[in-house]
Structure formats: C-alpha cells, structure tokens
Amino acid sequence: MIATKAYAAQSATEQLTLFNFDRREPNPHDVQFEILYCGVCHSDIHQVRNEWGNSKYPIVPGHEIVGRVTKVGSSVTRFKEGDLAGVGCLVNSCRECSNCKKGLEQYCRNGAVGTYNDYEKDGKTITYGGYSNQIVVHEDFVLHISDKLPLESVAPLLCAGITTYSPLRHWQVGVGHKVGVVGLGGLGHMAVKFASSFGAEVTMLSTSPEKEVDARRLGAHNFALTKDPAQIKELTGYFDFIVDTVSAPHDYNAYLQMLDTDGVMICVGAPPTPAEVLGFNLIGNRRSLAGSAIGGIPETQEMLDYCAEHGITSDVEVIDMAYINEAYERMLKGDVKYRFVIDLATL
C-alpha cells in the first residue's frame, strides 16, 4: 500500500483537516502520480457538507487534478514515469454500455465511478480525490496534459473546463449565436472564455456589479446585472442559449424568459433543492430547459488539446492546503477570481 497524505472532512459539519490513508499499489493498468495542483470546485463544498445527500465520510474532495507520473503498471502503454498527467471527475466506468462506447462515460449506464465520494468497483472502497499528495488511477481515465501552459491554471479545466466546453460543443454554439452565461465563478468564467472563443456573442448575467470589468476581460461582449429588473426585462427573448452555472437556489423563470424562439437554457449548476418552472415559460417560444454533466474522457482530452492550442486556461488564485476552509467561505460569498487551486507542495 502507498501511504498518502490528504485533507478530509470527517462529517458534514466539520472543517477539513489533515488525514492519512493508503492508496493501492498500481495494478497492471494503473498510473500512479504525484499531485502538483488541484482546483477547488463548488461541488466539493456541496459534497463536504452533504448538500446532495450522498456523502461518504471521511471525504477527500478534489477532481481537478494535475501532476507528474511516478510509476506505471506493467501493462500501461499511454504513460511513462515523468509524464504530466491529469484526472477529472471520473476514475472508472463499465466501458461496455452504449454510453461508455460512445465516450460518454459520465453517463455510464452501470454507474461511472467518481474521483471522490464514490465507491470503487468493489462496492466498498471509498474513492479519495485530489486534496492529497498522490493518486492511482486506471490509465483509461488519465488525461495527457500539455507542457505549454502553466499547470496551476490547467487544473480547473478538468472539471470547470470540460463541464462548460461539453454542452457548448453538444449544442454547436458558435458564430451567430447569442449566449448568456449566468454566474461568474469557476464554471462561469470558463463558459465565457469558451463561448467567445467559439465565436458567439456572450453576455454575462451576474449578481455582482464589481465583476463587470473582469467579465469583459474574459471575453464577454455585454454585462447585465440580474438584480436589476429593468436590465432583465430588456433581455426578454434575446438569447439562443443560456448556460446557468449558479450553485445556489435561484429563479429559473427569469432566465427562461430571456430565451428567443427555440432557445435552450442549459443548467450545469447543481443547487441542492428543486427549482419551480412555469410551463408557460417553455411553451411560449418553444423553449427548452436542459442539463449537462461534466464530459467523457475523449472529449476531456479534446478540450485540453483545444486549450493548449488556443492558450486557454483558468484564472486562478493559488492557495496553501491549510487555507481550504477559508477558501470555501470565500467561494460561498462569490469572492474568488475565478478558481482556487491548491498547491499540493504545501500539504
């Protein structure tokens, strides 16, 4: 077994503290790597605090992981010691169902295995994520990371990046489309970067007036303050697509009304409680309300390669491991520009 250092929460009401555990020795198809950086996703907070009702303790969060390979199993062909490597939200799936065969492992019909807060295929070993100094993952779920971009700014691409890239590609968002992005946080800032990179006209829909300058710097063409009813009303019927990244309960109807005919509101934010939707907001203008979860392994690699080619990274604030509990409090206040990333050298 491999002695591993981490930060974990022992219950929904406790802070994260130092935690030691063992990872498995690499099996023939496993890649072991030293974690250099790990992004902090709002899903980490939801799960540490059991807001989705499925948390397994102790919980070691973290699914925006980049590092350097230290050891490979005897049958590994795609990685060697010293390579850069990344792991996102998934560490396993059945590989046999129709979704897995299409590269949609996130929708595996037999249950994909999450990087943390899940059980390995044995049904009893809890998976522990990237707030730790090393990880062992089957090579099929390890991504290649370019050495062209700063690693700390690449880490958030493994979740915030792919979660926004995937729906924009699925709905073929690009030139001629008007896109609204709701919420300027980790996911929101990547949605703005990708949508503008794909050629769409992008409007930031935010509750924080002080974020306007940054929204425009990140690629937004317009900014609307969603707390101002007049600005909301002006956008009635305006968008082809809205990407909603909000983590807290909020009113979907206000945004549905901003969609043009055949417009699609894509929910990627995952508030813990159900939303109420008035049917008339969908019936009028034949609108759709949709959702999307992260992305499969082939598309995650495609996204990483696209980012390396186009110089796209996350805007990050690098933190020490011990700062994590304070970072959570700041995220809950919307005070992050625009992703915290843990430097695991400080663990």
Rule CB under 6 A: which residues touch ligand NAP? 41-43, 46, 159-160, 163, 183-188, 206-208, 211, 245-248, 250, 268-270, 292-294, 331, 334, 336
Q: How far are the Cα atoms of 25, 129, 233 from residue 28, in angstroms, in the given order?
A: 10, 21, 59
Among 100, 155, 224, 341, binds Zn ion (CB under 5 A): 100
CA distance 308 to 207: 31
How many residues line the site for Zn ion (CB under 5 A)? 9
Report whether 56 contacts 117 (CB < 8 A).
yes
Binding range to Zn ion, per CB under 5 A, among 29-37, 98-106, 137-145, 207-215: 98-106
Question: How does strand 239-244 pair with strand 259-267?
Answer: parallel
Q: Which one of Zn ion, ligand NAP, none interacts with residue 100, CB within 5 to 8 A by kind?
A: Zn ion
Q: Which one of Zn ion, ligand NAP, none interacts with residue 125, CB within 5 to 8 A by kind?
A: none
Binding range to Zn ion, per CB under 5 A, among 13-21, 85-93, 235-243, 273-281: 85-93
CA distance 118 to 150: 30
Least distance from C-beta 341 to ligand NAP, angstroms? Answer: 12
CA distance 91 to 239: 36
Least distance from C-beta 223 to ligand NAP, angstroms? Answer: 10
Local structure of 70: helix, strand or coil: strand
Q: Is 90 in the site for Zn ion (CB under 5 A)?
A: no
Question: How does strand 17-23 pair with strand 239-244?
Answer: unpaired
The full length of the chain comes to 347
CA distance 282 to 256: 7
Among 159, 204, 218, 264, binds Zn ion (CB under 5 A): 159
Binding residues for Zn ion, rule: CB under 5 A, are: 41, 43, 93-94, 97, 100, 108, 110, 159
